[in-house]
Every structure is written in C-alpha cells, then in structure tokens.
C-alpha cells in the first residue's frame, strides 16, 4: 500500500513537470524550493526529493514530509523552475518481491521522434557557392575583355584575309562576293564553335559539345587555308617584284657605267655652274656679248650643268645598288617573301578562335548565375 502511494505521488509530480531522471544522483533530485517566500527569491536548489524513500526536505526553510505532501504544496504554491518532462508517458513495470509480483507505474520519457527516412533517389540542394569578391570580379572582367578584344581583332583580320583569298579565286564578280563572304562566315564559325563547345561541355551536354567542336574545326581549317592562300598570293607578287628588281638592277648598273663614261668626257677644269652664271650676267650687263669669251662661257655652262646632272644620277644609282636609296625594291620584297605563311595562318586562327572563346566563356562563368546540381542522398 505504501509503495503504491509512493508511485502515484511520483506520477503526479511528473505530471506537474518534475523530472525524476534530471539529476545525476539516482536517489535524490535537487531543485529550487518554492515552499516559502525566501526560497522563491533565492532560487537556490535547496529542495531535496528522495524518490526511493518517498520524502522531501528543504535545507533552507526546513520544510519536509512525504511525496504526497510535496504534491499538495506544489499544487498550491506552484512548481519551481526545473527540468521538465514534456508529454511524459508511463508504462507498467513488474517488480519481483519475495512472495508476490506487483505492477507499478514508473515514468518513461518520450524520446524525440526520429526524422523520417528519405527515400532513395531523393535529391537535396547543394549549399550555395561563396560569392566572389569585387576585386576578383574586376580583374577577371578586364582580362576577359582584353582576350575578347584581341580575339575579335584577330577574327577580323582572318575574315579579311579569307575574303581576299576566296574572292580572288574566281573571276565572276558575283561568285567572287559569295566565295569571299564564305571565308568571313568560316572565321565567325571558328571562334563561335569553340565557345559553344566549352559551354556545352561545362554543362555536361557532350553531344552538343561534340557537334559544336566539329563545326569549329571545319571553320578553323577553312580560315587557316584562306589566310595561307592570301599570304601565298602576296608572296607570289613579292617574288615577281624581286624578279623585276633584279632586271632593274642590271639595267641600272649598265646606265651607271654609261653615265660614268659621259662624265669622264667633260674636262675636269670646267668651272662651276654658279661661277659661270655670275660671269655671263656681268658680261651681259656691260654689253660685251659679241666677244668670244662670252660664247665660250656659255658652252662651258652647258658642260657644267651636264656634269652636275650626271653626278647626281651616279650618286642616286650607287645608293640604290647599296640598298640605301628610297626605291630599294629588292630588299623589301625579299623581306616579305620570307614570312612563313602556314605558321602565320595557324597563329592568327589560334588567336582568333581561342582568344575570343576564352574571353566569352570567362564572362559567362563570371556573370551567369550557376545553380549547382542537386546532390542525391
């Protein structure tokens, strides 16, 4: 009978919010006392509840008694702040005693419900990526714009070379325009195709990426061929200029020899043009033009002028032959003919397609909000 009273008192205490298992001590629970005003104000854990003996005692106000008295006191004065059992349940426990088996009620705490298991294949959103700082965005943006500008400039040069090469391959003006713009389209498809290839593969669209890559390779090959044809045509024109310059060189050397022969026929004592002109002017001023010295001076003036003209031609011819003149076609054409056409065409196409693609893809990555793929749990 006493045991049943104790268990019922424990049940009522649990219903009031007292947790018997809140203390590490298996026999006694210490909680703040609310049985007197001083204890309430102090809030110290002076109330000792012994659940095994069914008694309580406050070490401050010295109130004591059994658990039934404590239940009555709590119902009248209120339960102190302590560990509270929320939604406590009770289950029957069979206790073995020497001559009988009694059924008692002991409190059982409800464990928090476990979260429901997610079915396989359920996806969860990945945590968002951290935002890039402003400095990084500015630097990458500027560098991407530099790559984009350089790539578009190379693409424009490649398109111009393709247009010139393909349009000159036919004589009909209409066909020339069609073939020329085909070369321009090839240059655009080259850098556009590589850009789409990088974009599709980055988003796991491999079939679309492969198709874009095929178009890009076709455009790049056409652009390389067109640029090489354009450079080869210029080299052929330069070679023709070299041949012409060689012929002109031989002719110039022959003329130089003739001029030197003519110069050697002029007497070395011939006076200067300025001195002869001054002498003739003075004779004409005094009116002695009918005399022989005047006529000799005029003849000598003609020789002096011819001598100066021959000397100027000889000096110019020597400068051309030595490569110091303004019309040295031979050296200029040889320099143009030494450009490696295939290397230049390949580099121009590489700068066009890859530089533009790198810049565009960097801007796409930087300014396009990417949603991370869900993670399967």
CATH of the domain at 52: 3.90.580
Pick the range with the lowest mean pLDDT from 2-11, 91-100, 225-234, 315-324: 91-100
Residues 20 and 147 in one domain: no
Domain boundary among 92, 108, 124: 108
pLDDT at 302: 92
pLDDT at 186: 87
Whether 128 is in a domain gets the answer no
Residues 190 and 47 in one domain: no
Residues 20 and 94 in one domain: yes
Domain boundary among 108, 143, 164: 108
Residues 188 and 280 in one domain: yes
First to last CA, the chain: 56
Residues 152 and 32 in one domain: no
Whether 46 is in a domain gets the answer yes
Whether 116 is in a domain gets the answer no
pLDDT at 217: 92
Residues 87 and 34 in one domain: yes
Residues 257 and 362 in one domain: yes
pTM higher than the cut 0.85 = no
* Domain around 229: 134-376
Say which residue, 132 or 342, is predicted with more confidence: 342
Whether 127 is in a domain gets the answer no
Among the listed residues 125, 107, 104, the one whose alpha carbon sits nearest the alpha carbon of residue 375: 125
Residues 167 and 90 in one domain: no
Mean pLDDT of the chain: 77
Tell me which H or E stretch contains 376.
Answer: strand 375-376
105 pLDDT higher than 60: no
Residues 275 and 327 in one domain: yes
Say which residue, 27 or 18, is predicted with more confidence: 18
Q: What's the whole-number mean pLDDT along residues 288-294?
A: 88
Pick the range with the lowest mean pLDDT from 22-36, 126-140, 228-242, 326-340: 326-340
What is the band of 26 on the pLDDT scale with cuts at 50, 70, 90? low
377 pLDDT higher than 50: no
Residues 255 and 317 in one domain: yes
Pairwise CA distance, residues 318 & 67, whole Å: 132
Whether 281 is in a domain gets the answer yes
**CB neighbours of residue 247 within 10 Å:** 10
Pick the range with the lowest mean pLDDT from 106-120, 210-224, 334-348, 357-371: 106-120
Residues 246 and 353 in one domain: yes
Dump pLDDT digits (tens) for 113-167: 555 554 554 445 555 555 557 888 899 899 989 988 988 898 888 889 889 888 8
pLDDT at 87: 40
List Cβ neighbours of 224 (8 Å cut-off, separation of 6 or more): 342, 345, 346, 349
Among the listed residues 23, 12, 72, 75, the one whose alpha carbon sits nearest the alpha carbon of residue 49: 23
CB 156 within 8 A of CB 184: no
Residues 318 and 209 in one domain: yes
How many helices, marked H, and strands, marked E, lie in the chain? 10, 8
Domain total in the chain? 2
């Amino acid at each position: 009978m006493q045991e049943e009273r104790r268990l019922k008192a424990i049940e009522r205490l649990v219903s009031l919010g007292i947790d018997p298992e809140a203390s590490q001590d298996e026999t006694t629970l210490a909680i703040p006392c609310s049985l007197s005003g001083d204890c309430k104000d102090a809030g110290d854990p002076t109330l000792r509840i012994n659940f095994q003996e069914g008694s309580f005692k406050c070490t401050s106000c010295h109130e004591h008694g059994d658990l039934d008295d404590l239940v009555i006191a709590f119902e009248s004065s209120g339960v102190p702040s302590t560990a509270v059992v929320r939604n406590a349940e009770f289950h029957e426990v069979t206790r073995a005693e020497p001559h009988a088996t009694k059924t008692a009620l002991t409190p059982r705490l409800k464990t928090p419900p476990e979260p429901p298991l997610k079915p396989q294949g359920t996806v969860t959103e990945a945590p968002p990526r951290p935002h890039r700082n402003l400095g990084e965005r500015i630097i990458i943006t500027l560098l991407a714009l530099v790559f984009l500008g350089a790539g578009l400039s190379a693409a424009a040069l490649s398109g111009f070379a393709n247009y010139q090469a393909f349009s000159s391959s036919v004589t009909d003006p209409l066909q020339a325009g069609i073939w020329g713009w085909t070369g321009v389209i090839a240059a655009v498809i080259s850098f556009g195709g590589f850009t789409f290839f990088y974009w599709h593969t980055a988003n796991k669209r491999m079939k679309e990426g492969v198709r874009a890559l095929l178009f890009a390779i076709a455009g790049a090959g056409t652009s390389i061929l067109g640029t090489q044809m354009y450079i080869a045509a210029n080299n052929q024109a330069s070679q023709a200029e070299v041949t012409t310059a060689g012929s002109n060189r031989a002719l110039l050397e022959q003329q130089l020899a003739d001029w030197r022969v003519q110069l050697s026929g002029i007497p070395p004592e011939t006076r200067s043009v300025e001195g002869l002109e001054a002498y003739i002017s003075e004779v004409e001023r005094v009116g002695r033009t009918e005399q022989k010295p005047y006529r000799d001076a005029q003849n000598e003036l003609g020789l002096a002028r011819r001598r100066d003209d021959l000397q100027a031609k000889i000096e110019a011819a020597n400068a051309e032959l030595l490569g110091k003149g303004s019309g040295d076609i031979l050296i200029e054409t040889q320099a143009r003919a030494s450009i490696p056409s295939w290397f230049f065409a390949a580099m121009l196409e590489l700068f066009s397609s890859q530089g533009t693609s790198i810049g565009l893809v960097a801007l796409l990555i930087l300014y396009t909000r990417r949603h991370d793929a869900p993670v399967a749990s």
